[in-house]
Amino acid sequence: MLKTFKGCIYCFGFLTISIYVAMFLIRMVQRFLPQAKRFSTDMSNPIVSVKQGKLKGSSQKLFDGSTYYSFKGVPYAQPPIGKLRFKAPLPPQPWPGIREAIDHGPVCPQFDMTTLSINEGNEDCLFLNVYTKSLEPSSRLPVIFYIHGGAFMSGSGNDELLGPRFLLQHNVILVTINYRLETLGFLCLDTPEVPGNAGMKDQVAALRWVQENIEQFGGDPKNVTIYGESAGAASVTYHLMSPMSKDLFHKAIAHSGVCTNDWAKGVNDRERAFKVGKVLGKKTNDPHELLEFLQGVPAVKLIALTRKVRTDDETIRCLPTHFVPVVEKKFENIESFISEEPLDIILAKKHNDVPLLIGYNSHEGLINLKLMIKNAEIINSNFHYLVPREMVPKLTQSQLNLFGERIKDFYFKDVLITEENSEKYLTDYHFAVCILRFAYFYAALKQPTFFYKFCMESELNKFKDLIGYGHIKGTCHADDLFYLFDNMLNKSIYEEQQKAKELVFKTTKLWTDFAKTGNPTPDNHFEVKWPPYTRAKKESLIISDQLTPVLYPDRERHEFWNKLYCEAGMLSFTKSNL
């Protein structure tokens, strides 16, 4: 069965799967676990009053035996159904009596990457989860607000993968959320009714709920850190740009993604929306007619449409993530999530300037290898497909071909593209280059930036094993999550191996110290200081068994790309108004 399952993974070898492969195996394990092993037998049910009513949660145990409190399936907005489909969320309604918050709410409708089938979920999916060690408002615990990844088309905030126990050992609160995905969350008609970014506005609504209610869970609304991985990290950096998110958070952590990655930026969104209508049998050029039709379609028909509305060029050049955040068209009396290009916002110093911890994993590209090899024959005959989508409009066809040749020569020399020689290119193109570029421009501003390269190597690198690359040293995309969140895949390793405990403690202490203070090394616990990143030296921290401060990791590769950006007439390290 595992062999067949891995074959399915290879068909979708891109960042979306990073979480959901693990969830499949977790579900399989859970089916055979006695119920008594999954839940504490000493269950109390604390009751907390929030603005909308009373919630009944449960008490659970950390690995050291201490108690924490769990409140799951808490609604943070009204159900986005009927005429509210595709639109910005509305504030949650109050409820009578005591609402049970014992179990997670429904996940949002999505294509399940673990079974390669539709997970109908429920459109009424705007729920969050709160985990805390204290229910005393006077505790003023720092709050970590986690946004899940999944290419804006899959995933949830559920604890199947995102267990809170590693982080809570450091006396913080963890909040995880669901938000609308794919077409339901990111359809854009360029109209006042559907300007796009409904899924991002869901995240804003959840942040507003935290500001209004987190004190009742022992949290400090004035010390909220937004944190995400992959598409969640891209979301975090979008919030740094959004006026809608202003004053809702105070620090930011971005793993393995930024809003300037090709896969995180919507293009031709109105045209893509009309393609959705055609796929579903509605041919029209009227956006209002299309909206009325799509609001009446069963939600299940709006799932897994991404691949059906791609262009031929996108099929080869891009990752299959196209219902994603967009720069919205401005409309009178309509609040936009973002209405300018992110880098333009930074250059104009109109962003939300907070301390930022940002970086990438050493071998991110392993996750995309199978997809690359699937298209290798075409790419080996047309090297221009190696050029990022954002550069293409800036180049003539002859320049595009020349850039493709240069990229091929730099990464592949005089041999063809194969599975054995593609990882560095994929790491740089899909992740590292844009992440470093974002950090470079952001770091010119007031608040500190801390940059890292994550190089942990242990049995906790579970995702790399699952996709068949466990023999390659390094940290694959999503491997870092197993050092930060507990789940059924890493639980036994953590409990049985002292090294795993030490690596988890090291990673989570860095992250939670940053959430507490804005500095990941505020004391001498590690006998190493993580230096703030500057544009001049590009100070970074290599995170592995040892913590090693370095200057400009992967310099030769980043300088190669910077030269291409400069020659394409795009913003680069040497061509900036900052």
Query: Going residue by residue through the chain (578 aa), what tens digit of pLDDT does each one get?
Result: 333 334 333 344 443 444 444 444 444 444 444 333 333 333 489 999 999 999 999 999 999 999 999 999 999 999 999 999 999 999 999 999 999 999 999 999 998 766 667 899 999 999 999 999 999 999 999 999 999 999 999 999 999 999 999 999 999 999 999 999 999 999 999 999 999 999 999 999 999 999 999 999 999 999 999 999 999 999 999 999 999 999 999 999 999 999 999 999 999 999 999 999 999 999 999 999 999 999 999 999 999 999 999 999 999 998 889 999 999 999 999 999 999 999 999 999 999 999 999 999 999 999 999 989 999 999 999 999 999 999 999 999 999 999 999 999 999 998 999 999 999 999 999 999 999 999 999 998 889 999 999 999 999 999 999 888 999 999 999 999 999 999 999 999 999 999 999 999 999 999 999 999 999 999 999 999 999 999 999 999 999 999 999 999 999 999 999 999 999 999 987 654 43
Task: For residue 193, indicate whether it is catalytic.
Answer: no
Q: Are 525 and 509 in contact (CB under 8 A)?
A: yes
Task: Count the Cβ atoms, other than its own, within 10 Å of residue 554.
Answer: 18
**Encoding tokens for residue 208?**
């507003």
What's the pLDDT at 29? 42
44 is catalytic: no
| Residue 466 belongs to domain spanning | 2-373+452-521
Helix, strand, coil shares, percent, the chain, to 5: 40, 15, 45
Residue 434 in any domain: the answer is: no
State the residue for tokens 């108690």: 67
Helix 433-442 vs helix 555-567: crossing angle, to nearest 10: 80
The radius of gyration of the chain from alpha carbons, rounded to an integer in Å, stands at: 23
CA distance 161 to 483: 11
Distance of CA 561 to the CA centre of its chain: 24
Q: What is the pLDDT of residue 20?
A: 43
Report how far residue 531's alpha carbon sits from residue 550's, in angstroms, rounded to the nearest whole number. Answer: 9
> Cα separation of 560 and 8, whole Å?
35
Query: Does 553 fall in a domain?
Result: no
In this structure, is residue 301 part of a structural domain? yes
Q: Does residue 289 belong to any structural domain of this protein?
A: yes
Spatial contact of 325 and 192, defined as CB atoms under 8 Å apart: no
Indicate the burial class of 312 (C-beta count within 10 angstroms; 0-12, 13-18, 19 or more): exposed
DSSP sequence for 220-260:
EEEEEEEEEETHHHHHHHHHHH-GGGTTS-SEEEEES--TT
Options 364, 384, 539, 540, the catalytic residue = 364
Query: Could you tell me how many helices (H) and strands (E) the chain has, helices first?
Result: 20, 16
Provide CB contacts within 8 A for 539, sequence distance 6+.
451, 531, 532, 533, 549, 550, 551
pLDDT, residue 332, reads 93
Query: What pLDDT does residue 574 have?
Result: 63
Contact 570, 562 (CB under 8 A): no
Catalytic residue among 255, 351, 363, 477: 477
pLDDT at 115: 65
Q: Which of 230, 235, 242, 245 is labelled catalytic? A: 230
Nearest to 19 by CA among 123, 156, 215: 156
Domain of residue 473, CATH code:
3.40.50.1820
**400 lies in a domain?**
no
Q: For residue 166, which of 493, 538, 520 has the smallest C-alpha distance? A: 493
The 10 Å Cβ neighbour count of residue 448 is 18
How many structural domains are present in the chain? 1
For position 446, what pLDDT does the model report?
85
**What's the CA gap between 392 and 189, in Å, rounded?**
24
Q: Is residue 72 within 8 Å of residue 101, measured between CB atoms?
A: yes
**Residue 15 located in a structural domain:** yes
* pLDDT at residue 444 in the model: 86
Active site (annotated) includes residue 230 = yes
What is the distance between the alpha carbons of residues 361 and 432, in angstroms, rounded to a whole number? Answer: 8
Residue 410 token pair: 């730099």
- Tell me if 393 is assigned to some domain: no
User: Quick one: tokens of 363?
Assistant: 């071998």
Q: Match 């999505």 to its residue by tokens.
A: 110
Distance CA 549, CA 543 (A): 9
Among candidates 246, 251, 479, 248, which has minimal Cα distance to 357? Answer: 251
Q: Model-level pTM? A: 0.93
- What pLDDT is recorded for position 263? 97
